[in-house]
Structure 1
């Protein structure tokens, strides 16, 4: 964890900063370029369409060329696109930039999750993924003040503050890509800081209790990677989670600004409440899950909780209470994610894991398009950035209902696995036949 995860987290940190800091530029883009709230919501969401579209192909290439080179390539390309977004001039160039950014970044997260399956035993994966998710939560916590500070460079060299933000953050990302290429070990056997015996022990523990490998070709494994009911259900629940997460995340700065807060740096600083909540969630939820390993029950409770919080948010008017509720909601939304991936990883490996994890991410991240777009439409209709919280209520309640179906699907999957092997995959007590 100490040697591998910090470098993965650094790359993921910048990916989250680069994709979400346009929220800080929202009102400035409207003033400087003429991008409306609805156009901003569409552009923010377009990132996720190409991101989702290229997820599976990207991860299949990663499986062939290796995670180290592929993660470095992704960082270099999305860093370059981020810097080029400083040349946005209208709605169309904004859309093109977001589409290109999604295509460049596609495959990063499932590639990291595939690495987790290569390095960590199933019992430790939720904890490891929780640490990986520190990257986006810290991105929300620190990225806001960082972006806000860069935007204070407004008029320096004849550029707007948002142009400096895109340029500098893109250059930082490209530097991280070069560091990953030089120092990221691909599998335990490649790590210079492990003995041969230690590397073999790590690999053996990672493979022990895993689902069948499925060979090195996706042919004949399509159903295992894409068609199993539990995979589809996790993907749909993840989709609803992302509708909420990205709808809220991309609009927190404008919500805070609507509370009579002024100044780019202060707005960015207060927007970090999502990062504070998310950090708490990804650290605490895996610990709770490890002690009370009830897979679908945990996912169901965490899916419904944002609906309750959103209802309270709409019922109160205090700025302090509203900002606090955003933090609590972020803790729950982010805290759910390590559990999603741990449940899925327990039931796939090899090429099936490479394709299946990317497929779940593909289904889920289309919610990253839908969420900001729906929030943008509701704001355009009501004039209130917080009106999108009604969408949170609907999405969360549907997710809670689907958790009941997930419970049955997991039981069926594990009965099938137990019947086909004498060494079944490690399972949580809830889903034992």
Structure 2
């Protein structure tokens, strides 16, 4: 066995160790964040009854979470780069856990808005900080699978959180509290505990991991530090350049449209199910888990297909077409059983594509550029997370039907599909500019 084979074997072994140690911690923290940001969907009907929050106000409050989140994404992730992602992620988890618990104190529309904004500010930077850690630990070919594993966490949060939240809502009246107050309190406190656990258990970089040998740590860092073209990690003077790259901007716009569709879907799925004449909060929660199931299948299956597929942009286009087909089928049918299946199908494509977005972005962003660029992409997407629920709420207010939001999903998906060829063209130009020969190739479309 030659030196290269030895190094590859060492790197594969170190990668398996890193996945086994880091992915459970990343999943735990992201699971809690997603649970705490989306449990408000189950409280929608009771918030209207108990504190007078209308459908439009609910949509605004659900989406306004993403405004504070978005405004602080880039500064937050630059802080993660400066002081270390472990300490920064732990700080995020503790503060958002406290604020998530405080959601039980909502008294009306304005307190609802304020707490949702504060919750978004507290959580700002979590996901790009996790993605930044991926860039520090894993080689380009491993990133789609690692990100896919991380996305299992929000999928499970939608699957398990819906029935769990529905069960907690059944505690209505116990101790003089509403069911939604019990839900916010019981689901918020564990986030603080997970943040404390992560502070003590998650190493910053491979060189800090006691469970890796020096050779294994070096193997991981050497593969993670260079991009597919072998460029070294960039310095802090280059981070602004990441925000100006057409590929970064276009990836952000595609992600924006995805979030308009997907965030609107999971915030309004319980309402859609209630309008299918399902009255029990517990049963609504169980049926709403179909969105989480579709999401889970998507992040388990699609990244593995992507890993073997040569053309990134064609792959994104195919998944977007699948989302459009699912939305059209939902609109065309009135059967409750068929619609339940199509909720899962829509989530399969809308959620399952997310690891591919990040894997494609991380191929082109490294070091301080990764910290800034990934946060910038997430910022644009988070604005979509605000716009989506707001538009869904307006659509329900105008039509009286929560499922009218599927027209928003359809329009957003069609616009996203139109951006994919522009993204492919930007990749080709970037590849040509970085090539020593100045000669683009098909690799630009495929990388």
* Structure 2 Cα separation of the partners of residues 43 and 18 of structure 1: 14
Q: Give the corresponding residue for 2:114.
A: 96
| Corresponding position: 1:392 with 2:409 | yes
* Structure 1 Cα separation of the partners of residues 80 and 151 of structure 2: 21
Matched-pair contact (CA < 8 Å) for 1:304–1:399: no
- Of residues 306, 312, 315, the one that matches 1:298 is 315
| Corresponding position: 1:20 with 2:38 | yes
Q: Give the corresponding residue for 1:74.
A: 92
Q: Give the corresponding residue for 2:341.
A: 324
Q: Give the corresponding residue for 1:114.
A: 132
* Structure 2 Cα separation of the partners of residues 221 and 419 of structure 1: 23
Question: Which ranges of structure 1 fall in alignment gaps of 5 or more residues?
Answer: none
Matched-pair contact (CA < 8 Å) for 2:137–2:206: yes
- Of residues 160, 178, 182, the one that matches 1:160 is 178
* Structure 2 Cα separation of the partners of residues 380 and 346 of structure 1: 42
* Structure 2 Cα separation of the partners of residues 432 and 347 of structure 1: 13
* Structure 1 Cα separation of the partners of residues 360 and 124 of structure 2: 22
| Corresponding position: 1:213 with 2:233 | yes
Q: Give the corresponding residue for 2:221.
A: 203
Equivalent runs, 1:20-419 vs 2, <5 Å = 20-209=38-227, 211-215=231-235, 217=236, 219-223=237-241, 225-419=242-436
Q: 1:429, CA displacement in angstroms?
A: 4.1
Q: 1:310, CA displacement in angstroms?
A: 1.2
Deviations 1:43-76 (A, max 9, x none): 0000011111100000011111101000000000
* Structure 1 Cα separation of the partners of residues 226 and 328 of structure 2: 44
* Structure 2 Cα separation of the partners of residues 172 and 410 of structure 1: 42
Deviations 1:318-367 (A, max 9, x none): 11100100101101111111111111111111111100000000011110
* Structure 1 Cα separation of the partners of residues 274 and 41 of structure 2: 12
* Structure 2 Cα separation of the partners of residues 132 and 86 of structure 1: 28
Matched-pair contact (CA < 8 Å) for 1:307–1:397: yes
Q: Which of 122-131 and 298-307 deviates more? A: 298-307
Q: 1:208, CA displacement in angstroms?
A: 3.6
Matched-pair contact (CA < 8 Å) for 1:293–1:430: no
Q: Which of 88-97 and 296-305 deviates more? A: 296-305
* Structure 1 Cα separation of the partners of residues 412 and 324 of structure 2: 8
Matched-pair contact (CA < 8 Å) for 1:88–1:94: yes
Question: TM-score, with normalisation over the residues of structure 1?
Answer: 0.96
Deviations 1:107-146 (A, max 9, x none): 0000000000111100010000000000100010001111
2:39 is paired with a residue whose SS is helix
Matched-pair contact (CA < 8 Å) for 1:282–1:335: yes
Question: Which ranges of structure 2 fall in alignment gaps of 5 or more residues?
Answer: 1-18
- The RMSD of aligned alpha carbons is 1.7
Question: TM-score, with normalisation over the residues of structure 2?
Answer: 0.93
Matched-pair contact (CA < 8 Å) for 2:225–2:232: no
2:53 is paired with a residue whose SS is coil
Q: 1:213, CA displacement in angstroms?
A: 2.1
Q: Give the corresponding residue for 2:16.
A: none
Would the alpha carbon gap of residues 162 and 428 (structure 1) be closer, same or farther in structure 2, given more than 3 Å must change? farther
Q: Give the corresponding residue for 2:4.
A: none
1:419 is paired with a residue whose SS is coil
